């Protein structure tokens, strides 16, 4: 976190870029590195799980679950990512440092809690994307139709949610 601020999510990075907290060059560099890290991470998971278990679990690839429409999935990703990015903005607001010196130390708690709540709400709908890099890594390593059919939702939804939070 001391080098990049702990950026692990392109949607959060995009929101911070739109809010003028990051330069375009730094934001793009972070996003590329986040995607490469997610691909490597998904490969490690596949190696540890073994081919049978990995295939049985769908490689962790996101998709819109049966009983939901693509619109439901897109909406879930927009709202879920909005909650996450808005929480990041709130928890890391520099204006709060003057009156709450503990905010930088405690910032991971509300952010982690927001991620937890978003997962509870959206796992039944999309398996919870809210991080385009994680969705990309799983889709590339799994490399089956399930991982690619609705993949656009896991980029468009989070980027719209991040833009709304930045606004």
Percent helix, strand, coil in the chain, to 5, is 70, 0, 30
Question: What pLDDT is attached to residue 146?
Answer: 79
User: Which string of b and e fits 49-68 if b means at least 16 CB within 10 Å?
Assistant: eeeeebeeeebbbbbbeeee
* pTM for this model (two decimals): 0.90
Q: Give the per-residue pLDDT at 125.
A: 97
Is the domain defined by 10-166 classed in CATH 1.10.1280.10? no
What does the pLDDT read at residue 7?
Answer: 83
Mean per-residue pLDDT for 90-110? 69
Query: Residue written as tokens 């996003």?
Result: 31
CA distance 140 to 142: 6
Q: What is the pLDDT of residue 93?
A: 74
Whether the pLDDT of residue 104 is over 70: the answer is: no
- pLDDT for position 62: 93
- What pLDDT is attached to residue 96? 62
Res 156: pLDDT: 97
Query: What's the rounded mean pLDDT across residues 151-161?
Result: 97
- Region 107-122 average pLDDT: 93
Q: Which of 4-18, 29-43, 51-65 has the highest mean pLDDT?
A: 29-43
* Percentage, residues of the chain above pLDDT 70: 91
Give residue 97's pLDDT: 55
Return all residues near 69 (Cβ < 8 A) that are at least 6 apart. Answer: none
Residue 102 has pLDDT above 90, yes or no: no
| Distance between CA atoms of residues 112 and 88, nearest Å | 10
Domain ranges in the chain are 10-166
Q: What is the pLDDT of residue 1?
A: 59
Q: If you write DSSP's letter for every residue of 99-163 in order, what string do you get?
A: T-TTHHHHTHHHHHHHHHHHHHHHHHHHS----HHHHHHHHHHH-SHHHHTTTTHHHHHHHHHHH
**Which residue has better confidence, 53 or 117?**
117
């Amino acid at each position: 976190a001391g080098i990049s601020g702990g950026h692990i999510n392109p949607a959060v990075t995009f929101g911070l870029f739109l809010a003028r907290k990051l330069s375009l060059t730094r934001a793009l560099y972070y996003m590329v590195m986040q995607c490469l890290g997610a691909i490597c991470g998904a490969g490690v998971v596949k190696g540890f799980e073994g081919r049978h278990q990995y295939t049985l679990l769908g490689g962790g690839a996101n998709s819109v679950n049966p009983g939901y429409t693509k619109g439901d999935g897109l909406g879930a990703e927009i709202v879920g990512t909005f909650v996450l990015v808005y929480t990041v903005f709130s928890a890391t607001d520099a204006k709060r440092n003057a009156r709450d010196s503990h905010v930088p130390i405690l910032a991971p708690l509300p952010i982690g809690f927001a991620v937890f709540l978003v997962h509870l709400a959206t796992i039944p709908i999309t398996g919870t994307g809210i991080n385009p890099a994680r969705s990309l890594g799983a889709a590339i390593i799994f490399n089956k139709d399930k991982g690619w059919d609705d993949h656009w939702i896991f980029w468009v939804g989070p980027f719209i949610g991040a833009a709304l939070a930045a606004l």
